[in-house]
Amino acid sequence: MKITRIIFAIIAFSLSSYSLISRDFELMPIVMMCLGAFMLATGLSELQKDRKRFEGYLFIIVSLFIFSVTILGLLLN
């Protein structure tokens, strides 16, 4: 799980940096999907560590919200 979190964080950071530098915001849905996957992996790793705290569930709920908003945004455009 740690490797997946690092990979998604690096992808999201590099794509968002590219978008800010080039002022081309066509990649934002991909960035949002990577951030959602990062948050999902973080929430699942918190739950796997038997830390059934609020943060793990919150990460999962927010990642599902990000996925749904991104998919709806892609479908409506």
Q: What is the pLDDT of residues 7-63, one digit of tens each?
A: 999 999 999 999 999 998 888 888 999 999 999 999 888 888 876 778 888 999 999
Residues 34 and 8 sit within 8 Å (Cβ to Cβ): yes
Return the pLDDT at 56.
Answer: 85
Phi, psi of 51 (to 5 degrees): -100, 75
- Sign (positive/negative) of CA torsion 67, 70, 75, 76? positive
Q: Using CA atoms, how far apart are residues 10 and 12, in angstroms rounded to an integer?
A: 6
Q: Is 52 helix (H, G, I), strand (E, B) or coil?
A: coil
Return the pLDDT at 50.
Answer: 76
Q: What is the DSSP letter of 23?
A: T
